[in-house]
């Protein structure tokens, strides 16, 4: 095999999706690492198998495979199911691409629908948040001016009242106006601001956040730091990333201390973990290399009714929460070309802040 072809085959092992290289009979010539994991078979077992066998007794699909190998469809896209190693059926999407002037007749990509769903959810969330933020900011600007007038009038009234006991009420008006003004400032702040980028190590951000949150919850939570020392430096707006990480970590700490733990015997634990991710599909691009910062807690998990809108502004599961922390965190990470994902069940909630390092 030519060195160029060998290098191409080796590159497929870096992909997170299953790739099978086929001959003109539709038999497997090569399978990458992800294909071995997906089908639960080694490369040796997959080699020379007819690709139609891998997708069950579907005569229509088998016929279309042969036609696709001959280039009839251009690229054949088809939904199907496979039998996973554990015995359960998994829905997958297929893309069979005929190859010209290559040692192989075609390339078959097999992607689980969970990966499609994650990407679709991310894109949908990005669109929804963009519309909601714009609407909230427009509303915030409309509220800010009359709110300033109310505060100013209350202060004038307070000065006219002298030492009257009625000053207590004007004080309440001023305090509440200030509270609403601060909330509005938080809604408006990120709009249109450019990133002040510098180069730094993501662990500097993690340690800063760890120090701040530990100072608040030192006697209530066990903290674990699990860092990958090989993570290279990143470029970004460090203050914004500190704020994004802090919002997520503090949210986890509040969940651990304010809600009932599903396992009373397990002490509240919060883990900060960093890893390098390869071939990551983000909302706007595919990146060859990225850093994944995971915030993991063993708390009660996110309520089912909140999961689809947890990043929406003003949505919160806490009685005293503003509902802006996770929304702003998502916005700041997206401004860096990244995304925040999460998985949650009672006893384990993991937020993953994913930032690109190298584009594909």
pLDDT tens sequence across 190-213: 544 578 889 999 999 999 999 999
d(CA 211, CA 65) in angstroms, rounded, equals 57
Tell me how far apart the alpha carbons of residues 315 and 281 are, in angstroms, rounded to a whole number: 27
pLDDT value at residue 88: 57
**pLDDT score at 241:** 93
Nearest to 332 by CA among 314, 354, 308: 354
- Phi and psi (nearest 5°) for 316? -150, 150
Sign of the alpha-carbon torsion through 131, 135, 140, 145: positive
- Distant-in-sequence, close-in-space partners of 87: CB < 8 Å, separation ≥ 6: none
Q: Which residue has the tokens 């297929």?
A: 94
Q: Is the pTM higher than 0.75? A: no
Residues (pLDDT < 70) of the chain are 1-5, 56-62, 71-74, 83-90, 112-141, 183, 186-193, 260-264, 279, 281, 283-286, 307, 313-324, 359-360
Token digits of residue 11: 């590159």
For CA atoms 112, 289, 11, 107, the dihedral sign is positive
């Amino acid at each position: 095999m030519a060195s160029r072809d060998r290098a191409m085959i080796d590159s497929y092992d870096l992909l997170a999706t299953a790739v099978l290289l086929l001959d003109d009979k539709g038999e497997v010539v090569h399978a990458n690492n992800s294909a071995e994991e997906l089908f639960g078979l080694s490369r040796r077992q997959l080699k020379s198998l007819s690709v139609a066998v891998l997708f069950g007794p579907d005569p229509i699909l088998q016929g279309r495979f042969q036609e696709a190998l001959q280039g009839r469809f251009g690229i054949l896209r088809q939904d199907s199911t496979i039998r996973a190693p554990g015995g359960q059926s998994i829905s997958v999407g297929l893309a069979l691409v005929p190859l010209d002037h290559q040692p192989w007749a075609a390339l078959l990509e097999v992607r689980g629908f969970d990966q499609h769903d994650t990407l679709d959810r991310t894109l949908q969330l990005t669109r929804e948040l963009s519309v909601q933020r714009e609407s909230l900011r427009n509303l915030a600007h409309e509220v800010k001016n009359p709110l300033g007038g109310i505060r100013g009038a209350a202060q004038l009234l307070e000065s006219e009242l002298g030492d009257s006991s009625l000053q207590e009420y004007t004080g309440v008006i001023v305090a509440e106006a200030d509270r609403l003004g601060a909330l509005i400032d938080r809604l408006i702040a990120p709009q249109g601001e450019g990133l002040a980028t510098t180069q730094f190590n993501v662990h500097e951000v993690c340690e800063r956040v760890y120090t701040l949150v530990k100072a608040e919850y030192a006697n209530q939570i066990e903290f674990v730091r699990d860092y990958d020392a090989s993570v290279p430096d990143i470029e970004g707006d460090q203050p914004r990333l500190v704020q994004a990480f802090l919002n997520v970590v503090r949210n986890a700490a509040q969940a651990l201390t304010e809600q009932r733990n599903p396992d009373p015997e397990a002490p509240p634990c919060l883990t900060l973990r960093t890893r390098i991710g390869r071939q990551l599909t983000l909302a706007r691009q595919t990146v060859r290399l990225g850093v994944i910062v995971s915030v993991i807690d063993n708390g009660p998990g996110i309520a089912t009714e909140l999961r689809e809108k947890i990043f929406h502004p003003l949505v919160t599961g806490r009685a005293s929460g503003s509902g802006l922390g996770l929304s702003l965190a998502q916005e700041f990470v997206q401004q860096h070309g990244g995304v925040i994902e999460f998985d949650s069940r009672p006893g384990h909630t993991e937020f993953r802040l994913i930032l690109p390092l190298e584009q594909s």
